Every structure is written in C-alpha cells, then in structure tokens.
Amino acid sequence: MTADDVHTAAAALSGHALELPELAHARVVAAYVSVGTEPGTLALLDALRARGVRVLLPALLPDNDLDWGAYDGPGSLAPVRHGGKMELLEPVGERLGADAVTGADVVLLPGLAVDTRGMRLGRGGGSYDRVLARLERAGVRPSLVVLLYDNEVVEHVPEEPHDLPVRAVVTPSGVRRFS
C-alpha cells in the first residue's frame, strides 16, 4: 500500500469507528498507535479525545506485557525501540499500571486477521493475550473491537483455549459485528 492508500484507509476507518454506539457512549477507551502499514489510528485517537474520551495507550514492558498511559495528543507520544523489535510510539506521561485497562469501556485491538466468528489473530507476542486475560480475571467485559483492512477479514484463523472473540471489526469499508 502506498502512503496515500494508508492515509485514505485510516480516514475511512476512523469515520466508521466513530459511528459505533460503543464508542459514542465510552468514557475510557484503551487503544494503540498504529505502526508501519497497519490501519492508521491517530485520527481516531484525536477524534475520541475531542469528544472528551480518556484514551489509554500501551507501553510495552520487557516481558511483553503492557503498561498504560494517557494520550494527550500527538505531542504526548515518543518513539521507543524495544530491542530488535519495531519502533513503537508510546505515551510519555505517567504510567498507570497494567491494570488500568480494566477501567476501559472499549478496547481497540490490533491484529493480523479476524475470522467470521470474531476470533482475532494477533502478532504472536502475547501482549494482548495478557490484556484479555487481565480483563477476564477482573470480571470486566469492555467491548472488544479490532481494526483491520478489508482483506484481513478471513474465513478462519487458528485459535487457542484462552482466545476471546471480538464484538466487531472496523475496516475502511465499514463495520462487521459478531454474535
């Protein structure tokens, strides 16, 4: 995809995501900053902030778990390289702890694909598996939404016993819900 393609897709994805009832009523949203050619999230993060939503963003810990910090606009992000892994934009402010995600009304998840049952395929690092397990242990059930390109919605992805389905996938062409 060209940079223009990524930008156009990000704008469309943001527009569809902002129409979700879950996000319309959310007070706290745990999200992420997209990297590389992932579907762009910055426009969505800024739109949520403009609505008065508290946006939490992850900071990768050495064990691949995630800490969280508040997003206060593009100036509140700094590039961080974790070993040989890709560079991530992370919040520069106060760290809120790994359990901060349990206060989110909606969790926006990255992924490689989602299938017709709502099962999400992650990148394999286990960071979001830990997040989902933390939500389960806390007994909270925020809406889980994955942000992908249209061609990343597939017939079937492998799953493991700890995997949880997402409620919806948002792509540049629209929203698909799962039961």
- Residue 123 in marked binding region: yes
Q: Which two tokens stand for residue 48?
A: 């949520």
Fold for 3-177, please state it.
Rossmann fold (3.40.50)
Q: Is 29 within any annotated ligand binding site?
A: no
Return the residue matching tokens 């997402």. 166
On whether 121 is known to bind a ligand per the annotation, the reply is yes
Known binder of ligand: residue 38? yes
**pTM confidence score:** 0.94
For the chain, the residue count is 179
91's tokens: 């919040």
User: Binding residue per annotation — 81?
Assistant: no
70: enclosing H helix or E strand: strand 66-70
Known binder of ligand: residue 97? no
Domain-wise residue ranges, the chain = 3-177
120 known member of a binding site: yes
CB 104, CB 28: distance < 8 Å: yes
pLDDT in tens, 2-52: 888 888 999 999 999 999 999 999 999 999 999 888 899 999 999 999 999
Which pLDDT score is estimated for 41?
95
Query: Is there a contact between 13 and 93 (Cβ–Cβ < 8 Å)?
Result: no
Give the single-character DSSP code of 91.
E
